Structure 1
Amino acid sequence: MQITARELAHFLGGSLEGNPDITVSQPSKIEEGGEGTISFLGNPKYESYAYTTTASVLLVSKDFAPKSPVSATLIRVDDVYASIARLLQQFGQQAKPAPGISETAVISDEAMLGNQVSIGAAVIVEAGAQVGEGAIIMGQAYIGKGAKIGPNTLIYPGARILDRCEVGRNCIIHANAVIGSDGFGFAPREDRSYEKIVHVGNVVIEDEVEIGANTTIDRATMGSTIIREGVKLDNLIQVGHNVEIGAHTVIAAQSGIAGSTKIGQYCRIGGQVGFSGHVEIADGSQIQAQSGIAGNIKEPNQAWFGSPIIPYRDFIRSHSVFKKLPELYKTISRMERELATLKAPEADQ
């Protein structure tokens, strides 16, 4: 893909400073740059690289005021991160495979494929499965019996969409994600062994959802595990059976959500957050990384931190005290010794 700075500025709705005819073919990190690349300055702590980058074009905010000369052509935009997201999507579209079905794919005669689908090498599509128009299923992915894949959804290599699970339109399922694995359900026997509880439900993923690599979403015991519209899940997340995640919630890597938990919409959840089962999380909750949630969060649009969680500001204040505890302990010990010394003469009387 070759595109001029002028075309980029028009595409992003930005203003141009520098050579409008310079061309770029790929994005780059600001500290690496490279001729023929476009980079961006979104975080002020990287500003020093703006003066040394070898990128041909640099995306900056409209209020960026250079402290030194910048050799790159500048494109000024209202929101750098939103613009770079659009830009990366544009570059990424060029890598998508063309429609067609690989000769090594195994497609059941009872499966239904929409128009303009792309099915990669060694893909398996089982009986009763439905693949929507324009969907892309890359190599070695598996689509189970009766599963449904919505139009224009992209499934990366090795992902597994198991029996009767549903994925909406315009979704992205990254490599080796598993949708519809059995939930962690076992009934204790009298001899202290365990009997497996069969999970007969499914997983329903609504439109515009992105599921990260190696993330697993368990099917419901009965009914559905539900991922609502616009949810974004990072890599290596565990979603238990009968969980429901509300629309446009984002969850970072290595978080774990135990069964039957209900997470509201527009929540922002950091990495390695743990949810116990059967809890409800209010809309708009912001939960910091490595927090632990053992009870309901009822008040919406609040920030939380810690394990077990407490309000974010309370945690920060408490942590500032916690760091001082060794010195406080020494001070108290010294005061106790001094007090004991003062009391000693009284004891002799």
Structure 2
Amino acid sequence: MDTSYSLAELAHLVEGELVGDAELRVRGFGPLDEAGPEDLSFIVKADMSGAMAESEAGAFLVPRSVEQSGKPIIRVADPYLASALVLNKMLARPFVPTGIHPSAVVGEGCRIGEQVSIGAQVVLGDRVSVGERVSIGPGTVIGNDVTIGDECIFKAHVTIEHGTEIGARVSISPGTVIGADGFGYATDASGIHVKRPQLGIVRIGDDVEIGANCCIDRATFGVTWIQAGTKIDNLVQVAHNCVVGEHSLLVAQVGLSGSTSLGHHAVFAGQSSTTGHQVIGDRVMVAGQSAVHGDQPDGARLGGSPAFEAKQYFKAVSVFSRLPELAKQVRFLSKELDRIKERFDKT
């Protein structure tokens, strides 16, 4: 099978302007210093265009402002995005079902698509529904009454607890647990912590990607909901009854406390968190290691712990690094002021 692509085909894919040989074909994609004559490469900024002359790549994705090159170029609005589109096209392969491994355990009343790959030591509980073109990696455990949409990919050792609802084209990486009990306790007068049963479920929307070793807890009542298109990095904790809006990004080690609601296209950078029982608006962006308290309006830009307006936060950070020197200056000025007062008093 021919796995090469003409530049004309790729230019159409990325809605770019092709300058050069439209019939030139490429087979791979790589960075400037690794790409070969049959590869496409890219630069993200026009001031990097000088480096293209030293690259062996056959053609380049470039910003629209790049005028020309000694080799074919495809001018695009966003080379980084265009590179993702090209890579996904090049790496796309038809789904080849392997069926159900002999060591897998399938419970009663399951409905499983005809085209699936279910690996070794997988356990499906009772009444599990699995769509078409689904791949479930070895050692994965899926509880009772779980529904899984078409074209999902679960890697090895994923755990999906009972009642979870998963949409289409969802990807879950190794070690992640979906639907474990939320952390809910009531404390009596003597200090004993009494567990509050977690009776809700988790719902995962279409086109969600979840990294390795994440935990998304079931709701106390109702639903913990990760909405369509959201991408979650490794080691993220989403507590009970949270709602994460469509097309949001949660970077590594983010922690959302219980009953946090995020709007669509929210971005939480690494190790940022919420305090819980709060509403975060649409398109809110939170800097790394920030702790968000209280409700936040649409479009807020936040940083710090506790988090406040990002511009002020970054100004404060720049001042913080200078505090030892500023303190030294304050001590010096204080002594000078004391000397001036002393001389003034003598007069």
TM-score, with length taken from structure 1:
0.89
The equivalent residue for 1:39 is 41
Q: Which amino acid aligns with 2:67?
A: A
Report the CA distance between 1:19 and its aligned residue.
Answer: 4.6
The equivalent residue for 1:224 is 223
For residues 102-132 of structure 1, give each alpha carbon's deviation from its aligned partner in whole angstroms, at most 9, with x where no partner exists: 3333222421012322323332222111011
Q: Would the alpha carbon gap of residues 248 and 10 (structure 1) be closer, same or farther in structure 2, given more than 3 Å must change?
A: closer
What 5-or-longer segments of structure 2 have no aligned partner? none
- 321, 331, 335: which one aligns with 1:333: 331
Q: Would the alpha carbon gap of residues 24 and 109 (structure 1) be closer, same or farther in structure 2, given more than 3 Å must change?
A: farther
1:40 and 1:60 in contact (8 A); partners too: yes
The equivalent residue for 1:237 is 236
SS at match of 2:270: coil
Q: Would the alpha carbon gap of residues 118 and 45 (structure 1) be closer, same or farther in structure 2, given more than 3 Å must change?
A: farther
C-alpha distance in 2 between matches for 1:198 and 1:6: 59
C-alpha distance in 1 between matches for 2:251 and 2:222: 26
The equivalent residue for 1:147 is 146
Q: Would the alpha carbon gap of residues 189 and 54 (structure 1) be closer, same or farther in structure 2, given more than 3 Å must change?
A: farther
1:31 and 1:49 in contact (8 A); partners too: no
Q: What are the within-5 Å matches in structure 2 for residues 308-347 of structure 1?
A: 308-347=306-345
C-alpha distance in 2 between matches for 1:113 and 1:209: 21
TM-align CA RMSD: 2.5
C-alpha distance in 1 between matches for 2:212 and 2:37: 32
Q: Which amino acid aligns with 2:267?
A: R
The equivalent residue for 1:267 is 266
Q: Decide which moves more: 142-151 or 18-27.
A: 18-27
The equivalent residue for 1:304 is 302
Q: Would the alpha carbon gap of residues 79 and 91 (structure 1) be closer, same or farther in structure 2, given more than 3 Å must change?
A: same
Q: Which amino acid aligns with 2:166?
A: V
Q: Would the alpha carbon gap of residues 102 and 24 (structure 1) be closer, same or farther in structure 2, given more than 3 Å must change?
A: farther
C-alpha distance in 2 between matches for 1:79 and 1:291: 29
Q: What are the within-5 Å matches in structure 2 for residues 1-349 of structure 1?
A: 1-43=3-45, 46-65=48-67, 70=70, 73-94=72-93, 96-98=95-97, 100-189=99-188, 192-297=191-296, 299-348=297-346
Q: Decide which moves more: 32-41 or 285-294.
A: 32-41
Number of equivalenced pairs: 345
C-alpha distance in 2 between matches for 1:57 and 1:141: 42
Q: Would the alpha carbon gap of residues 259 and 140 (structure 1) be closer, same or farther in structure 2, given more than 3 Å must change?
A: same
2:95 and 2:133 in contact (8 A); partners too: no
2:97 and 2:117 in contact (8 A); partners too: yes
Q: Which amino acid aligns with 2:44?
A: G
C-alpha distance in 2 between matches for 1:44 and 1:235: 33
C-alpha distance in 1 between matches for 2:89 and 2:261: 35
1:24 and 1:38 in contact (8 A); partners too: yes
C-alpha distance in 2 between matches for 1:140 and 1:35: 42
For residues 146-195 of structure 1, give each alpha carbon's deviation from its aligned partner in whole angstroms, at most 9, with x where no partner exists: 10101222222222211110111122222222111121223335554534
For residues 235-269 of structure 1, give each alpha carbon's deviation from its aligned partner in whole angstroms, at most 9, with x where no partner exists: 21100011111122222111000111111112122
1:237 and 1:254 in contact (8 A); partners too: yes
Q: Would the alpha carbon gap of residues 40 and 110 (structure 1) be closer, same or farther in structure 2, given more than 3 Å must change?
A: same
